[in-house]
Amino acid sequence: MYTQKLEKYLESIGKSMFIKYFESFKNNTFLEDCKENISSKKMRQKFANFIFVNNLELDALDICINANISETDKSSAQKLIENLKYDEPFSDDFRLLLQYNTQNQSKEEYLLKLLSGVYQELRKSNMIRGKNIVGDLAEYYVLSYFNKNINLPNLTMETQSNRGYDLLDQESGKRYQVKGITQKRTSNFHLENSDDDLGFDYIVIVKLDVDFLVEEMYLLDAKDFDKVKKQRGSSNTYYINFNKRFKDLAKKIIG
């Protein structure tokens, strides 16, 4: 479960350290900002990246408040929580579903109802847009993480009808195509343009774990697409293997 991983990572970061350098961890600048003589700074930043890319800041701060740390640190953690934006509460229908008495229905029937309810809540929260849950969640994670980190471009979501790219940096005009994966291969790239423009400037591959949380996130410049693309059959359709060759060419965002 992710809660066990979260508690383990916070233990390695140091709860007081996480609170004190919250903004530095969020912006991936802890290595530069922390002047204290401590070990494993890279490891602490790596574990913090897991927290921020998966939007677990509130969970992490709540763990800190209930831990054996100083009252000063607890007060600082509470102020951080108050400054964070809370999501809208669950709908009444979903809250009723969570309290549903399963005595008069099978487990299978209830799980299907629960799945449908979760799907609807994800759509209302704009975490997914359609039925490609892995792909949509990958877009959500990229959009959320980039926009909370001041050292990354601020992105906006494009319409589903745009097949060339998913996210746009309006300041630079750069286009990002996002691929979510759970295995070692992306879904298809459909290249319909006849000129040198692929329809995107960057590819972001997001590897999700069994809990649908981000394990890895890599950014590849479109100019390197030819070096890693694999053709599917004889069509103008390609995919990428998420392997060492790709990772050597791409920039690691999380991992």
Whether residues 171 and 220 fall in one domain: yes
pLDDT of 81-137, one tens digit each? 999 876 678 888 888 888 887 778 898 999 999 999 999 999 998 899 998 999 999
Whether residues 141 and 247 fall in one domain: yes
pLDDT of 163-203, one tens digit each? 689 999 999 999 999 999 999 999 998 876 556 788 999 99
Which residue segment(s) compose the domain that 113 sits in? 92-124
DSSP letter at 28 equals T
Whether residues 15 and 96 fall in one domain: no
Whether residues 209 and 113 fall in one domain: no
Q: Is 86 left (phi over 0), alpha (psi -120 to 50) or beta?
A: beta
Q: Is 101 left (phi over 0), alpha (psi -120 to 50) or beta?
A: beta
Distance set, CA 233 to CA 162, 188, 213, 230, 237 (Å): 24, 12, 32, 9, 8
Whether residues 76 and 146 fall in one domain: no
Determine phi and psi for 247, rounding to 5 degrees.
-65, -30
Whether residues 103 and 168 fall in one domain: no
Strands 156-157 and 167-169: antiparallel
Whether residues 40 and 109 fall in one domain: no
Whether residues 71 and 7 fall in one domain: yes
Give the number of domains in the chain: 3
Whether residues 103 and 203 fall in one domain: no
**Are 184 and 197 contacting, i.e. CB atoms less than 8 angstroms apart?**
no
Whether residues 209 and 147 fall in one domain: yes
**Are 26 and 148 contacting, i.e. CB atoms less than 8 angstroms apart?**
yes
For the entire predicted model, the pTM comes to: 0.92
Whether residues 35 and 62 fall in one domain: yes
DSSP letter at 191 equals -
Position with higher pLDDT, 252 vs 193: 252
Whether residues 20 and 48 fall in one domain: yes
CATH code: domain of residue 222: 3.40.210.10
